[in-house]
Amino acid sequence: MTTSKRYDRIAFVASTSAEAQAALDQLTQLYGNADPATADIIVALGGDGLMLKTLHDFMRTGKPIYGMHRGTVGFLMNEFSTLDLHARLAAARETLINPLLMRATDVHGGVHIHHAINEVSLFRQTHQLARLRILIDERERMAELAADGILVATPAGSTAYNLSAQGPILPINAALLALTPISAFRPRRWRGALLPNTAIVAIEVLEGEKRPVAAVADNEEARDVRRVEIISDRSISMRMMFDPGHSLEERILSEQFGY
């Protein structure tokens, strides 16, 4: 999706690294630094970790977010330049991202609700494998998975931890979620499933006292969980901006061919 709007009021946010802070100083001198509450656009300076934090921080504002790479991993970022930023922002392409909503219930009955942009993961907390029951739309699909864990990834997160766990890469506009086991022991040959993004995924922990499990939504963790429900929250649409020819769609497509 192309945009033609001019973004005059720019709010910059930056990671704490020296590289990102130097970029913040340069850009602030050239373009000012608007209050995020009144800005037309948020420009994030750092790596993918900073971009995820920025997306979480401004998740419900509807403001477009444009990242420039001044960190380690920069899959979600554009190239850094101080030149003609207003023109770059006006020419940028917009990608809409829907987060996951995790509702995790722990052994004490506590409920933990968090959003995730990349994935929701369940992990074993001790040396013993987790035993998990998988339900899709409240229908049992797997009575028992013995594994280090399992994750549900969005298209935007499919090239992150999901890919490292041998999960599929999803086109950014695909109405799909990836359900991917982490080091599955039984059934050993199960590689996961592709689900419609309307699905309600429920994962129940078996033998939780003996084999405790943690649930993590991006970087928010709940420990000793008993049941975790995951849905795509289509009530929230985050607007990520990319330079022409460097869109998230193009990056995900290129990743599938090993670029």
Q: Is 118 annotated as belonging to a binding site? A: yes
SS3 for 225-245 is EEEEEEEECCCCCEEEEECCC
Could you tell me where the beta strands, DSSP code E, fall in the chain?
10-14, 41-46, 64-69, 93-97, 100-106, 111-116, 119-124, 130-136, 139-153, 176-186, 193-196, 201-206, 213-217, 220-222, 225-232, 238-242
Beta-strand relationship, 64-69 and 119-124: unpaired
Question: Is 48 a residue of the active site?
Answer: yes
Would you state the torsion angle of the CA atoms of residues 60, 64, 67, 73, taken in this order, to the nearest 10 degrees?
40
3-state secondary structure of 76: coil
Q: Is 143 annotated as belonging to a binding site? A: no
Q: Is 202 annotated as belonging to a binding site? A: no
Q: Is 130 annotated as belonging to a binding site? A: no
Distance between CA atoms of 154 and 140, rounded to whole angstroms? 22
3-state secondary structure of 57: helix
The total number of residues shown for the chain amounts to 259
Q: Is 49 annotated as belonging to a binding site? A: yes
Q: Which helix (H) or strand (E) holds 98?
A: none
Q: Is 162 annotated as belonging to a binding site? A: yes
Q: Is 84 annotated as belonging to a binding site? A: no
Name the catalytic one among 48, 57, 106, 243. Answer: 48
Q: Is 62 annotated as belonging to a binding site? A: no
Q: Is 119 annotated as belonging to a binding site? A: yes
Distance between CA atoms of 11 and 229, rounded to whole angstroms? 35
Phi then psi for residue 125, to 5 deg, are: -95, -15
Could you list the active site residues? 48
Q: Which parts are annotated binding residues for NAD(+)?
A: 48-49, 53, 118-119, 148, 156, 159-164
Q: Which residues are annotated as a binding site?
A: 48-49, 53, 118-119, 148, 156, 159-164
